[in-house]
Amino acid sequence: MAKTYDYLFKLLLIGDSGVGKTSILFRFSEDAFNISFISTIGIDFKIRTIDLDGKKVKLQIWDTAGQERFRTITTAYYRGSMGIMLVYDVTNEKSFENIKNWIRNIEENASADVEKMILGNKCDLEAKRQVSKERGEQLAVEYQIKFIETSAKDSLNVESAFYTLARDIKAKMEKKQEASNPAGARTGGHQLRNEPQRKPTSWLSRCSLL
């Protein structure tokens, strides 16, 4: 099967219920904003392929499937993720405070070098704002994570947020490959990550059942 992309990145959306994770996902993948269909169909993840510096990057963006509601995200959700969007709602103080808890959760379960980014969503609702942009920026500085305010409804910054995260992952990946290439040696067993550029010698020895 011909590969239609150079890289495949698994990204996650994390944050409290109701902050707009699914809306952000749909804005980015479908360029749509419509709540009615979101709640009806079982959405696992959405895919969008973007062009980054001449490379086709396939983004597979996973939604929490509502398992964040009572803090019951499965550890399996974090496996193999390369980038995480931490989302809060600027009109909801609690969701902002919880970002710290979510970061702890990520540190516990995701790979140590996962790229992260904080999104303050619903920034179109200026009248209801509870969390100032400065506080968002401050939090981001504290954790040394990039930050941007978004509006899935008005299609503000959603696009650039995903591009930024994808670019950071790509840069990290290429740096890693450069570092490991001179040695040229593969260590025993296959890499746990998707490595589209280097196909494992035998797909049989590590297989997804698909």
Contact 149, 165 (CB under 8 A): no
Angle (nearest 5°) at CA 192 between 68 and 196: 105
**Among 52, 56, 80, 146, which residue interacts with other proteins (rule: CB under 8 A)?**
80
Q: Which of 41, 126, 134, 178 binds other proteins (CB under 8 A)?
A: 41
Q: Does 66 bind other proteins (CB under 8 A)?
A: yes
Closest CA to 149 of 168, 171, 174, 131: 131
From 1, 2, 4, 44, residue interacting with other proteins (rule: CB under 8 A): 44
CA distance 55 to 205: 28
Smallest gap from Cβ 87 to other proteins, in A, equals: 9
7-14/45-52 β-pairing: unpaired
**Which of the stretches 2-10, 38-46, 135-143, 160-168 binds other proteins when contact is defined by CB under 8 A?**
38-46
H-run or E-run covering 180: helix 158-180
Where do contacts with other proteins occur on this chain (CB under 8 A)?
17-23, 30-47, 63-72, 74-77, 79-80, 92, 94-95, 108, 112, 122, 125, 128, 153, 180, 183-185, 187-190, 192, 204-210
